[in-house]
Amino acid sequence: MEDKTIDDFAVVDKKPIMCDGDRNHYCPYYSDCLDIAVNKKWESWNCCNCNLKNINVIDIMRKIEQKKPVMLNHQWVKRLTEELQPYF
């Protein structure tokens, strides 16, 4: 499998569906999906069809910080990319 870079995460296939249910407020694409729902005039939507429905970027960043508290920006991006890779 080819390693992913941070750019690969910018092209996520967002899959909100029009239905009541749980939403992942900690997903980095939450606002994008909210925009989709608003533009389609949905009264409600959820994340049940998305492979990022259980991702919590805040927890991932805390985990990285605990392992190595002092990192340069490019190291942070590399580490965050490694942590996000299983979701794609």
Q: Indicate the domain borders of the chain.
A: 6-87
pLDDT in tens, 2-45: 454 444 555 567 788 898 988 888 888 888 889 999 999 999 99
pLDDT in tens, 65-74: 776 655 556 6
CA distance 28 to 3: 20
Residues facing 17 on adjacent strands: 46
Query: What's the mean pLDDT in 57-70?
Result: 70
Q: Say if CB 2 and CB 42 are below 8 A apart.
A: no
pTM value is: 0.57
Q: Which two tokens stand for residue 54?
A: 């259980």
Q: CB within 8 A of 40, min separation 6: which ones?
A: 18
